[in-house]
Amino acid sequence: VSLEDAYLPFYFGWFLRHTFQDELEGVAKGFLKTLDSLEAFKKHLSDFPREGEDVVKVEQYFQHTGPLHCTTKFCDYGKAAGAKEYAKSQVVQQSYGSMTELKLQALFLTPRTLGARVALTQEQLQLWPSDPKEEAGSNLPPGSRAHITLGCAQGVEPVQTGVDLLQILQLQQQGQEGEKVEDLELGPLSYYGNGIWVLSLREPIIGPALFSSFHG
């Protein structure tokens, strides 16, 4: 085993600059606070699991640890299919350590995860690997799954955020618009049933991120 092979990361991705991370965490916090105060949201609170008689406060419901990022390739230290090929590819080698700008187009929330949808540029898509989950049984374009996990419910793994996003995009593709519930300062808020909420950002949130890897 060469040194290079022995050190495949947990994942590759774009890591938000700390100023951008702080900004986005502030936006997410404000979004949750707003939701907690909305009658329409309270009406659907039974979508969320609750313990005993405690009313769910979404402000305290989601947790995240580690740096905010948009995963490109989950490598699992080399155990994931295609990890080595990805790490060795020319585009990855050339882009490693370079800055880019990530454009966020929506925030979404489910009883499992809280995330931001990332709109990738053509250049960023060069770093997007083929993704069987993204491609399976749908005709969603490559990069559809791109997201930043902002938090997970207790006991939920962050991989779920991308799964939840793909489900939302599939609903939209099937012609479900969601029920437009409220016009918030950041944009229109829609409810898709089963505790799924989407805030389409009127103005995309844009900020700097570094293409790098996480080794854990």
Query: Is 124 a binder of ligand ACK (CB under 6 A)?
Result: no
Q: Which stretch binds ligand ACK (CB under 6 A): 97-105, 153-161, 170-178, 190-198?
A: 153-161
Nearer to ligand ACK, 157 or 183 (CB): 157
Q: Using CA atoms, how far apart are residues 63 and 123, in angstroms rounded to an integer?
A: 31
Q: Which two tokens stand for residue 99?
A: 């800055």
Nearer to ligand ACK, 74 or 197 (CB): 74
Query: Is 110 a binder of ligand ACK (CB under 6 A)?
Result: no
Among 74, 86, 191, 211, binds ligand ACK (CB under 6 A): 74
User: Which single residue brings its beta carbon nearest to ligand ACK?
Assistant: 149
Nearer to ligand ACK, 10 or 96 (CB): 10
Least Å distance between CB 14 and ligand ACK? 11
> Do 197 and 108 form a contact (C-beta atoms < 8 A)?
yes
Chain center to CA of 214: 16
Least Å distance between CB 199 and ligand ACK? 18
Query: Is 11 a binder of ligand ACK (CB under 6 A)?
Result: yes
Query: Is 149 a binder of ligand ACK (CB under 6 A)?
Result: yes
Known catalytic residue: 18?
no
Known catalytic residue: 147?
yes
Q: Is the dihedral of CA 64, 82, 117, 161 positive or negative?
A: negative
**Contact positions with ligand ACK (CB under 6 A) in 154-173:** 158-159, 161-162
Residue 193 neighbours by CB under 8 Å, 6+ apart: none
The residues carrying an active-site annotation are: 69, 147
Residues that bind ligand ACK (CB under 6 A): 10-11, 71, 74, 149, 158-159, 161-162
